[in-house]
Structure 1
Amino acid sequence: MTISLVQVFGWWHKATIGTLFHTWRKGERVGEDEFGNVYYQGGKDSEGRTRRWVIYNGPAEASAIPPGWHGWMHHRTDVSPADEQYKPRDWQLPHLPNMTGTAAAYRPKGSILNPAERPRVTGDYDAWSPES
């Protein structure tokens, strides 16, 4: 495992030195998601539960954790997605991280960053005015 200067001085890239040390000392690899994030467990937290953590494949962005792994990380289930044979339903979309601040962010019609005209208001809405 190589450590870069960004990892030494920046918490936002993959993992801090403390996390890497804890991973080396007590970490048991549990699995990996489709984005390349690697999940570990080992030791106990302050409530006596098994400690769980992730080393991101890129910037540390919590929304990059898919729903199944999110549930496992927060102790909502004891079975990791790597251990269960989960098949998504036909209507389920693939997980996307938060796109805010990127070119793929949601920009509704009429916003500053979307030149399309805002839809006209229908008759079921009355704008508030201070005189009324």
Structure 2
Amino acid sequence: MSTPIRTIRNLYRVGFKSYFNQMLGIGDTKAGTLIGTDRFGNKYFENNAEELPLRTKWVEYREYDYDASHVEPGWHAWLHYLTDKPANVEPNMLHEVRPWEKPEPPINQTFTRAAYKPYSTTIPKIQSWEPVARARA
């Protein structure tokens, strides 16, 4: 959470619409320079002057219902300070779609009926006890 003065200053910089979207998405207001956009429509920003260390880079996802898998590998490396150059500048970091790869990232199936559920292939070592009660006289 940032200070009220910083929040108001960023509100004037980014505007009401972007302020509202940032508060719903990341819970903070950030103003910075647009570094680039990936093939999914996500926008990547940086502000080295006013942000805290290791919080100078952030992403605004295209959709409100986002997942961490919606970030391309090159941009992921830039966001986590593994490279200094962003993915749109560094040619080795550009992500090319392979023939076997789907054009869109997979949808997160957690908490749905399609979620992966592992099953056990071993024989249980403990058997449950089922009491046998005699009829009372």
Task: Select the structure that is richer in strand.
Answer: 1
Q: Runs of 5+ in structure 1 lacking a partner?
A: 112-120
Structure-2 separation of matches of 1:92 and 1:74: 27
Matched, 1:38 2:49: no
Choose between structure 1 and 2: higher helix proportion.
2
Q: TM-score, normalised by structure 2?
A: 0.55
Letter in 1 for 2:126: P
Provide Cα deviations, 1:54-100, integer angstroms capped at 9, x if missing partner. Answer: 12212163412122111100001112111023353746625615522
User: Do structure 1's residue 88 and structure 2's residue 96 form an aligned pair?
Assistant: yes
**TM-score normalised by structure 1 residue count:** 0.57
Greater RCO, 1 or 2 (C-alpha within 8 Å, sep 6+): 1
How many residues align structurally?
108
Aligned partner letter, 2:125: S
Residue 18, structure 1, aligned to residue 19, structure 2? no
Identity of aligned residues (%): 19
Distance in 1 (alpha carbons) for counterparts of 2:22 and 2:61: 16
Shift of 1:52: 0.7
CA RMSD, Structure 1 to Structure 2 (Å)? 3.9
- Residue equivalent to 1:115: none
CA 1:99 to 1:74, structure 2 compared with 1: closer, same or farther past 3 Å? Answer: same
